Chain A
């Protein structure tokens, strides 16, 4: 167990010793500050509540968190191949599946830290510029805390699924560029694909991955991402879970078996 934590420590070192990682953090923390500052400066009267600002900032930075996590996921395996270090990494007394697990857990930890940083930055700047409102009127909700925390939880679940997809592609393609391109394309094209498929009026639309990444549509009693197919949160989670298992299975099978040449 202690030995496995050392593998995790290694993977963390390879994430946080890179300048690019800290640029990512700077953006996730800096953008809420800039948004709050801009709203504060350009709306002299009738200032919104801190929660309103937190919501606006969160909607923007959560996309960055998703992109950055996907970039790290794409780099996780493909980066080792690109540098050639995979040949030194895999000739240690560990099975490949355990090494892959250490990489995957380090990635999830990165996604979690980024998500928490996004929330903390959005919340703190909101309060710093606009004061704290216990029950804000412009949110129209009784408990802004419950709403925001659930919102972040749902977003984090989506990030885990999309990052797992990118991680799988990283292990299969062994090319960071291809994986990053494809994952980010899917991240943004997902909604477009969904809206193209929706008018087809076929029930299989309910089983496509992308709509279910919009879990926040269940907040405040919503019926899910597809208006003509009301669904439940449980159903969406089940679909995401099924995709997740497939991604994980492919990643581990391919990584454990294929020759490194």
Chain B
């Protein structure tokens, strides 16, 4: 991407005593991008987020938000950040609206009409004047999102945002975050241990393990249609050995885990299918063996005892 990143982590390290909690993390998140921060519990997701929003000091390295260092120019850097760190904990004895007024007063230039707009945005019109202690977790989550986007941040940081949400709520949040990224160009940084959720929500994902980023990869959104891309393809047949013989060298066929696996492009897959059928072999299914993020995630973090 040619744009400059909204947030840049540069060799960020956090030590508590002699323990290294976060070990030289570097990554960048760009405008309009939903960036996933994936890792098992205890891998350092929340610690990293706390450093990004200035709640925790950084032992070494730096975090730049819109070009401003969170260490040296905190007010300027944080001005462009909206966040929910862990649970959306708000003032329970105040109403939802009073909570929003409270946080709106802390940033210059947020009008009453902007507050009303955000209330509509998160669909809380009917309950906004109730006290927060009467809200369900899902409603507190919405109010949490509302306080985070009040000042139209360039970077939205959400720590485990789907915790405690029902499936409909998760879907709604996902759609909203994608819309925010697409329409307002907001960079969204989301942490989670829910792999499947991240697959649906994010453009790119960093995988964190024991305080280190072990991988950053893009999530393939559209199915590949290129004619030349070779995929590993599984053929579901009664007798893999017989089918392999019937292929007669078409594609790079082999038996893997008792299944017929062929590395081939789209057109060849169709040819293979025709040949198998002509040879009197029933094909029950053809599946591209794409590794899901979950497989990748487990592969990367294999053998780790999750705390």
Partners in one complex: yes
Chain A interface (Cβ < 8 Å from any Cβ of B): 3, 6-7, 9-10, 13-14, 17-19, 83-85, 87-88, 90-95, 257, 259-261
User: Chain A residues with Cβ under 8 A from B107's Cβ?
Assistant: 92-93
B56, B90, B91, B94: residue with the most chain A Cβ atoms closer than 10 Å:
B91
In the bound assembly, the distance between CA atoms of A257 and B56 in angstroms comes to: 9
A-B interface, 7 closest residue pairs, ranked by CB to CB distance from nearest? A84-B89, A92-B106, A6-B105, A93-B75, A260-B55, A93-B79, A259-B56
Residue of A nearest to B46 (CB): A261
B78 touching A93, Cβ below 8 Å: yes
CB–CB B91/A85 < 8 A: yes
Q: Which residues of A contact B81 (CB under 8 A)?
A: 91
- A256 to nearest B CB, angstroms? 11
Verify if B57 is at the interface (C-beta below 8 Å from A).
yes
Q: Determine the distance from Cα of A200 to Cα of B79 in the docked complex, in whole angstroms.
A: 58
Nearest residue, chain A, Cβ from B131 = A17
Are B83 and A91 touching (Cβ within 8 A)?
A: yes
Contact B86–A83 (Cβ < 8 Å): no
Q: Is the CB of A87 within 8 A of B89?
A: yes
Which residue of chain A has its CB nearest to the CB of B91?
A85
> In the complex, what residues of A have CB within 8 A of residue B106's CB?
6-7, 10, 92-94
Chain A residues, CB < 8 A from B48: none
Question: Does B92 reach chain A (CB closer than 8 Å)?
Answer: yes
Known: A83-B89, A87-B86. A94 touches B103 (CB 8 A): no
Q: Give me 14 other A-B pairs in contact (C-beta within 8 A), A88-B85, A260-B55, A261-B56 excluded.
A: A3-B108, A7-B105, A9-B105, A13-B102, A18-B93, A84-B87, A84-B89, A85-B90, A87-B86, A91-B78, A93-B75, A257-B57, A259-B50, A260-B56
Residues of A within 8 A of B252 (CB): none
Size of B's binding interface in residues, CB under 8 A = 31
What are 19 A-to-B residue pairs whose CB atoms are below 8 Å? A6-B105, A6-B106, A9-B105, A13-B98, A14-B94, A14-B102, A19-B93, A83-B91, A84-B86, A84-B87, A87-B55, A87-B86, A88-B85, A90-B54, A90-B55, A93-B74, A93-B79, A260-B56, A261-B56
A64 CA to B297 CA, complexed, in Å: 60
**In the bound complex, CA of A77 to CA of B84 (Å):** 20
Smallest CB gap from A17: residue in B: B94
User: What chain A residues lie within 8 Å of B105 (beta carbons)?
Assistant: 6-7, 9-10
Instruction: Give min CB distance, B135 to chain A, whole Å.
Output: 14
Shortest distance in angstroms between A4's beta carbon and chain B's nearest beta carbon? 11
Closest chain B residue, CB of each to CB of A18: B93
CB distance from B78 to the nearest CB of A (A): 6
| Interface-centre pick from A88, A92, A94 (highest chain B CB count, 10 A) | A88
CA distance A143 to B128 in the complex (A): 55
0/1 string, B45-83, CB within 8 A of A gives 1? 000001001111100000000000000001110110101
Cβ contacts under 8 Å, A94 to chain B? 75, 106
Contacts A87-B85, A93-B107; is A260 near B50 (CB within 8 Å)?
yes
Q: Within the assembled complex, what's the spacing in Å between the Cα atoms of A10 and B100?
A: 11
Question: Nearest CB to that of A99 among chain B residues?
Answer: B106
Provide the residues of chain B in CB contact with A95, threshold 8 Å: 74-75
Give Cα distance in the complex from A260 to B55, angstroms: 5
**Nearest-CB residue, chain A, relative to B16:** A259
Residue ID in chain A nearest B80 by CB atoms: A93
Q: In the complex, which of the residues A9, A13, A92, A259 contacts B57, with contact meaning CB atoms closer than 8 Å?
A: A259
| B141 CB-CB contact with A under 8 Å | no
- Docked complex Cα distance between A91 and B85 (Å): 10
Q: B147 interface residue, CB < 8 Å from A?
A: yes
Specify the chain B residue showing the minimal Cβ separation from A257: B57
Q: Which residues of chain B have C-beta atoms less than 8 A from A91's C-beta?
A: 53-55, 78, 81, 83, 85
B157 to chain A: closest residue by CB: A91
